[in-house]
Structure 1
Amino acid sequence: MKRAIITVIIIAAVLAGIFYILNKNKAKNEQETQEAAVTNATVAVRVDTARRQSVDLAYLANGTFIPKQEVTVSAEAAGRVVRVLVDEGSRVSAGQTLAIVEGDKLNVSVANAQAVFNNAQADVQRFESAYATGGVTKQQLDQVKLQFENAKNNLQSAKLTAGDVTIKTSVSGIVNSRKIEPGTYLNVGAPAFDIVNVSTLKLRVNVDEKNVATLKVGQTVNVTASVYADKKFTGKITFIAPKSDGSLNFPVEIEIANNANNDLRAGMYGTASFGNEDTVDVLVIPRTAFVGSVSDNKVFVAKGDKAIAKQVVSGRNFGDFIEVISGVNDGDQVIVSGQINLFDQTPITVIK
């Protein structure tokens, strides 16, 4: 009996201890949950300062060099390649023969057409003599003359076709790719060579609406290539798009004459510098402060522990910084990270 009472007391003590520990853990969890709720009520953001600074008035735009001329030379007659006269990297001139295609069958066609032409020509001479003496009618003579004209046209066509056994280039440049070898059989239109002319290249860049108004066709532009930091090139604007893309950028093409060594190559990364090198003191904020695109003109400013939505008027683009004409003041803390979760008056926590 006494042992049973002791057992009951021990069990009760154990249960009481377990209950105490559970209640203690519950209180701790509730406290942590409340603290987390307080923390999560704010949005973590990073800020930067709107400030006045001297900036270069030159507007930079990046793009890729492309060749002014790039053509694929194709076979104009079917046949087997007999000889290839150029290799990849060879310089070629307009009208130069690049390869020769087997033309035996074409030469037979020319011979047949020549024989028909000779016979038609002889018929015309005989019928004209006979017509002069009244041996044939005018209608018969006209019929023979018509056959002669057809024979002459067929001969010219056969000769033109026979001339197509040579594959020629219509432009000067460098053989960028050779797609055939001796023995290759080509169908009409089969690509044989890629010819690239890099004596003149084009740089295609996008210019925003605030800077495109200062540009005009024929304007001189300074151009650099990323791989030649010590070399400068000069180009001229040859095209300004009359319509912008979805980001309010206007495609602009600049034509650049390559140097004697053809240092510029198609596919290289280039930078065009528009405007002059004067500096001006302006109020700027980081590009990352804008919600969406710069053209949306919306930013958030940190005021105390809240984010305040601001509608600004943006100005010129200076790379990583954008001029602000109105909407924020010098010294304002603009939010540059975390805006996706913000609304006007949203509580914030500024993190470093």
Structure 2
Amino acid sequence: MKHLLKYSGIIVLFLYACGGKENKPNQTVNNMPEVKNNGKTIVFPTDSSAVFFETESIGNSILNNQITAPAKVSATVMKSQEGASQNIILFENPDLAASYTQLIQHLANVNQIQNKNIKQKQIEVDRAKDLLAHGAATGKDLLEAQTALSVEQTNLANEKAALIEFETDLKAGGFEPEALKRAKAGTSFIICDIPENQISRIKNGDNCTVQFTAFPNEKFSGKIDAIADMIDQSTRMVKLRISLNNSSGKFKAGMFAAVSFGISEGDNISIDKNSLVTVQAKNYVFVKKGSKEFERTEVTIGNQIGDRIVVYNGLTNGDAIAVKGVMQLKGLSFGY
């Protein structure tokens, strides 16, 4: 009996050992994506392995950008209490105030010389010629009359040269002399600087919103009157002049403000900011070409507006762009 039990145990162990052995094939599953075309094409082995890389379908849309620039009340226009023909303009910048005062004075001088002095001297020259022809004057009389006329013409040229100098100073400060002379009492002028690359999207007559440090809970509507004719060579900024109704007298020269412009970027394709990768100053996105394939695509981009980036070239409507896992795709594509 003892021998029977002994051999039975040996048989059970043998059968267990034999049953535990399986003939498993020597097979290795390759889960690594295939990178082709110098990193341009990435192909995943299965559909499920590409599911992690979420995409969005892109298309044209109109995006509106908001530009905000610091500003200052540079001048206010007030009616003269003494009945002067010109309104009083209070400038924040004393140099501009001096330039405007000089401009007005030289304009008056030009008017006096041109419309009175020269006309009078020309009459005297004509009379001296007539008298000389009838023997009632000498050549010296005519020469003196012509010299007096020449002096007035020289004075006129000097006054006009001075006008150009002060006109240039005002334009450099963002002001047009003629606009200042025509300005109505109760008008405030605001000057702000915007980057050179924004000029093409702003034009005269555009509306804007102004918020003052002194009135933080109020917003005021203004209008762009002019864009300066010169760009600051060191900052690459250009001045804008904005007019604002100040009939209440709330706005004082020198007040700080912020000006906001709503600018349309046009009808363009845009992508999520997380879709874009930049390598060696070139911009790329990854376009899904099939259930398992992504293609690296170079794009030409514009401004970023919120979380969207305008794309000018490289994509078409309906393209599916990777928005998740983009850094992993970048590593596979560029080998790091």
TM-score w.r.t. length of structure 2: 0.36
Greater per-residue helix proportion = 2
TM-score w.r.t. length of structure 1: 0.34
